[in-house]
Structure 1
């Protein structure tokens, strides 16, 4: 996000780039900034956590919307098209975008993972002054160039998110809210291994058999385990990583649609067009035209 951290930029607009969350879908991104509004819905292959330190902001998701105020935190799956359409002039937020390889390292109840992957948003007001200090520090450590500090930032963030589900929280989905709480559970090591392999190889020609073999699992068992844990198939997640990268290229690059398809790991333009339509509701050429027209 190309914003100054020392001052608020009036009506700041979020502009994805090849190095942003869309362009690098397997990297864990930390942020601490004024939340910029989005010209239209976007998506990325990470679980997103936002902690509002000051002001307020409003999100529109696929089947619900919600507003966050200072002292509130949310967690949702970025693979669904979503848009931040309001951000108060004084708002500051912090958080991160977690690839699934990090997300499934956490000890969360399986039901929580399933609801998140299904499009629900988790909200909590159980925050304190430590969060005001920790979120900016995690961002600074992650960008410090010190590998030990960067790893500590990741580990501390994951522990903080685990604690979110040990205290009261709210589930928002399809316009409904449910106040609840739950105990933690261990993630599947097999899912972590599969996510790790996909993250390292999503631009190559791989299939479900390759992914299962890398995780030391039988293909059928691997596919069932991944679907049960994430609510999506192995190929759907692989495709989402590729679409996330393609989205950033379409918004900012000058490459042809064919080149975008090839550079994003798709074997053909027809396969790329079909997958892109399913998530964006339009072909990639129309998406590029509309987003650039809106930006102007």
Structure 2
């Protein structure tokens, strides 16, 4: 997590980092800290799990706002631009960012996966003191350097998220209609294999044929399976991973937009500009200038 000192509010703020979730969007990240506010929205290609242990936070999502208080837990798709714009002075939260390869290992109701990928947030207040102990422990074990402990932390977290849907929870969204076709489709091992291959190669020149071959599937079947399981195409997911890395490079480095495009896996600067506009609502150069001006108090 990259922090910067804001000259406006004299408190720490969050900035996307090249060594963080944006710069490495295929890694599993655990966290346990005071959540700093964000001066701008960010995005990353992981499912985010947040558990507020103390205080309160407020999120602005792509389609809805969300306030979380102590003892509440939520999950949402980080591929939508989102921003934590308020965090109480005493707030502490814990959780993780789950790449799709981990997310699709869980036994969630297919309709839940569809709504999450469509932009909904799932919220529960069914938490207890065990969560207060477990979330920090999972983070410590994941960063301990002990592979057995780290794997155990992941398995326990996945089971905890599964349990969320066995107890009362709320769906928070401005659009309750499920737009994805995945309400009747359970992700298969083929989707996991595709996610594995994409995670290892998204900065290279890969296409749907390469991804399908790596999973031992026919290209047309692979594309249809992935779309029904995630609500997006294979290429859209690859593009999102590249855009996640690109935003961190734009903020934290001084490379030209062309160099950022090339280093993020885009074949041309025009393709990069078009994709970036679609998610950020502005060209990469404007995004970089606006974020840096906000951080500097301009």
- Per the shorter chain, which TM-score range? over 0.9
Query: How far off its partner does 1:20 sit?
Result: 0.8
Determine the structure 2 residue equivalent to 1:48. Answer: 48
Determine the structure 2 residue equivalent to 1:95. Answer: 95
Question: Residue 49 of structure 1: SS of its match in structure 2?
Answer: strand
Query: How far off its partner does 1:175 sit?
Result: 7.0
Contact 1:117 1:231 in 2 (8 A): yes
**1:98-177 → structure 2 map (5 Å cutoff):** 98-174=98-174
Once residues 196 and 175 of structure 1 are traced to their aligned partners in structure 2, the CA distance between those partners, rounded to angstroms, is 31
Determine the structure 1 residue equivalent to 2:75. Answer: 75
Contact 1:108 1:187 in 2 (8 A): no
Contact 1:106 1:187 in 2 (8 A): no
Once residues 228 and 266 of structure 1 are traced to their aligned partners in structure 2, the CA distance between those partners, rounded to angstroms, is 25
What do you get for the CA RMSD once the two structures are aligned? 1.5
Query: How far off its partner does 1:188 sit?
Result: 1.1
Structure 1 stretches lacking a partner, 5+ long = 4-8, 178-184
Once residues 279 and 2 of structure 1 are traced to their aligned partners in structure 2, the CA distance between those partners, rounded to angstroms, is 22
Contact 1:106 1:186 in 2 (8 A): no
Query: How far off its partner does 1:60 sit?
Result: 0.5
What TM-score does the superposition give when structure 2 sets the normalisation length? Answer: 0.93
Query: How far off its partner does 1:11 sit?
Result: 2.9
Determine the structure 2 residue equivalent to 1:280. Answer: 280
Question: Residue 37 of structure 2: SS of its match in structure 1?
Answer: coil
Query: How far off its partner does 1:17 sit?
Result: 1.6
Once residues 162 and 209 of structure 2 are traced to their aligned partners in structure 1, the CA distance between those partners, rounded to angstroms, is 32
Contact 1:45 1:78 in 2 (8 A): yes
Give per-residue Cα distances to partners, 1:107-166, cap 9 Å, x unaligned. Answer: 011111110000000000011110000000000011111111111111110010000011
Determine the structure 1 residue equivalent to 2:207. Answer: 207
Structure 2 stretches lacking a partner, 5+ long = 4-8, 178-184
Contact 2:142 2:153 in 1 (8 A): yes
Once residues 44 and 29 of structure 1 are traced to their aligned partners in structure 2, the CA distance between those partners, rounded to angstroms, is 12
What TM-score does the superposition give when structure 1 sets the normalisation length? Answer: 0.93
Query: How far off its partner does 1:2 sit?
Result: 4.2
Once residues 244 and 186 of structure 2 are traced to their aligned partners in structure 1, the CA distance between those partners, rounded to angstroms, is 28
Shift in CA distance, 115/12, structure 1 to aligned 2, threshold 3 Å: same
- Between the two proteins, the alignment pairs up a number of residues equal to 284
